[in-house]
Structure 1
Amino acid sequence: MKTTIAITLAALVLGGCMSAEKQEAEARDFTRSESLLDTAQRNASVACADQMQCDKAWSLTKDYVAAHSSTSIVRADAAAIETDVPSRSGKAVYSATRVAKGSGATITLYAQCRGMYGQDRAMGSDYDDCVKQIGPAQNGFVPFLNQHLSSQ
């Protein structure tokens, strides 16, 4: 009987340690993923030099948003491209802005994902799936534009 109690207590203590270790690992992964997403957001911006180049880049941006978003475009004008809100959790949607700078503009791609965050910006139930969608799409945006603009 004493042996059974001792084994049970030891299992509970070890289980608590593993749970704390798992929570620490998840917290580190969350912090790392947030850092990667911040970098991807900063990298999802491009400057175009003149009206003609900006118009072509903006057209390509609309194509990119449509191809990557889980919902359809609901607004596309000279200043913004927006997609509809997803009906289900875990679906990434994209938007873009075009801000005039001199004779050119800065075009920036934004991303969000329903279910990505919980209360107080804590990790939501679909966080990992959302990161897998958003990071590569934002990191691929500028190379996509550069590739298509240089082939013109």
Structure 2
Amino acid sequence: MKKITAFALVAFALSACSSPEKQAQRAQQQILHSEPNLAAAQRAAVIDCTPANCDAAWALTKRYIQQHSDTHITHADAVAIDTDVPDDSGKAAFSATRAQKSGGGATLTLFAQCRGMYGPDSAKGSDYDECAEKILTTQNGYVPFLMSHASQQ
């Protein structure tokens, strides 16, 4: 009986120690996975290209979307790339636009959405953290991907 009581006390003490750590980790995730960070990632997923490199950058954009989307590309032309809408919650879909600039070149923009990210009244949905992580990683990696691959061409 004393062994069971001692074991229960040790287990309780250990769970109490890990609880603040878990709470701190959740709080950190909530800070990382926040609307301001998602808005910043959207602003970072924009790049201008010149007439000389726009076609190559657009082709790389399509490849990047293929590599990161949970769904396949349903449409791709000279001005837009779209992936299918995910069937399952927590799955990310991406799209991109190529907006011509006066004087030549274009602005390329990568957009993201995720099923299950938001609930009613724009509240955070059950898959918010998982979705936010996918979106943040992909959008923040888009311009560096283009820059690194463009320098290799």
Q: How far 1:31 moved relative to its partner?
A: 9.1
Q: How many residues get paired?
A: 127
Name the aligned partner's letter for residue 83 of structure 1: T
Shift in alpha-carbon separation, 1:31–1:149, aligned structure 2, 3 A: closer
Question: Could you tell me the TM-score, scaled by structure 2's length?
Answer: 0.78
Tell me whether 1:68 sits opposite 2:68 in the alignment: yes
User: Aligned residue for 1:36?
Assistant: 37
Tell me whether 1:105 sits opposite 2:106 in the alignment: yes
* Aligned-partner SS, 1:90: coil
User: Aligned residue for 2:8?
Assistant: none
Q: How far 1:29 moved relative to its partner?
A: 2.9
Q: Is the 8 A contact 1:74 1:82 kept in 2?
A: yes
User: Aligned residue for 1:91?
Assistant: 91
Q: How far 1:30 moved relative to its partner?
A: 6.6
Q: How far 1:141 moved relative to its partner?
A: 0.1
Instruction: Write the distance in 2 (CA, Å) between the matches of 1:150 and 1:103.
Output: 21
* Aligned-partner SS, 1:109: strand
Instruction: Write the distance in 1 (CA, Å) between the matches of 2:124 and 2:30.
Output: 10
User: Aligned residue for 1:151?
Assistant: 152
Instruction: Write the distance in 2 (CA, Å) between the matches of 1:59 and 1:120.
Output: 37
CA shift digits 1:62-110 (9 cap, x unpaired) = 0000110000000000110000011100001110000000210000000
Give the root-mean-square deviation of aligned CA atoms. Answer: 1.8
Q: How far 1:120 moved relative to its partner?
A: 1.5
Structure 1 residue runs of 4+, over 2 Å off?
28-32
Question: Could you tell me the TM-score, scaled by structure 1's length?
Answer: 0.79
Q: Is the 8 A contact 1:30 1:123 kept in 2?
A: no
Name the aligned partner's letter for residue 146 of structure 1: M
Q: How far 1:32 moved relative to its partner?
A: 6.1
Q: Is the 8 A contact 2:33 2:132 kept in 1?
A: no
Q: How far 1:119 moved relative to its partner?
A: 1.2
CA shift digits 1:101-127 (9 cap, x unpaired) = 021000000000000001121101100
* Aligned-partner SS, 1:106: strand
Structure 1 residue runs of 5 or longer lacking an equivalent are 1-21
Shift in alpha-carbon separation, 1:31–1:150, aligned structure 2, 3 A: closer
